[in-house]
A and B are shown apart, each in its own frame.
Chain A
């Protein structure tokens, strides 16, 4: 298995532009998580899905952020419009829903820079 695949690896965009981050979870995993890592706040959970259904989006910082999971093999995190304070590394992770003891598998992340 290729693991959790995120694209792009790096994204540089201008303030006000729309940004879309993509994630392909591991086949067979039915939970998917979006995290954001910053120096100040560490790793924060933004939103997670079970069986393609959003369960908890309380970590999404503002209405500018939205996430979708149209099918079991694809998810997107969109920021519109983007702001410099959105600059961070965004991680996607997937797991079997009841197997927390084995941990989540993380992708390599997307480093977003908003200038």
Chain B
């Protein structure tokens, strides 16, 4: 049973336009949501996170939106750049009152930025 779902295996976007990556989840106990970026032959690197008590978090070109009622989050990248081409993973962690509990990951979306 997949608790974090990324339904688009790949997405192609023109350089300079907006990239929107989507993620759905089923576990209402998830407390924090994170996005990771991964290049080939490297480990995932943390990009941006959002707490379940917020609906938006912004960091430079990256903005994450959370819709708790729909159990949906999205990552917006504006403007998209060639270096953004990578696999993006959505991840979530349940609330535990403190202490890391391990992240549950989606299967990833391969973003391709076209020149």
Interface residues of A (CB under 8 A from B): 4, 31, 33, 35, 42-45, 48, 50, 55-56, 59, 91, 93, 95-109
Contacts and interface: CB of A to CB of B under 8 A. Distances in A.
Given A4-B43, A42-B107, A103 B36 contact: yes
28 contacts: A33-B100, A33-B103, A42-B105, A42-B107, A42-B108, A43-B107, A48-B102, A50-B100, A55-B99, A56-B101, A91-B43, A91-B44, A93-B43, A97-B98, A97-B99, A97-B100, A98-B100, A100-B32, A100-B34, A100-B100, A100-B101, A101-B32, A101-B49, A103-B49, A106-B36, A107-B43, A109-B42, A109-B43
A91 B93 CA distance: 18
B99 A50 contact: yes
Contacts of A91: 43-44
B99 A98 contact: yes
Interface in B78-115: 89, 93, 98-108
A105 B102 contact: no
A97 B41 CA distance: 27
Contacts of B63: none
B29 to A, nearest CB: 14
Contacts of B46: 102-105
B26 interface: no
B43 A103 contact: no
B98 A98 contact: yes
B98 A101 contact: no
Nearest to A50: B99
B12 interface: no
Contacts of B45: 106
B89 A108 contact: no
A97 B93 CA distance: 12
A108 B100 contact: no
7 residue pairs, one from A and one from B, having the closest CB atoms: A103-B46, A106-B43, A42-B107, A43-B105, A31-B100, A45-B102, A100-B32
Interface in B27-68: 31-32, 34, 36, 41-47, 49, 51
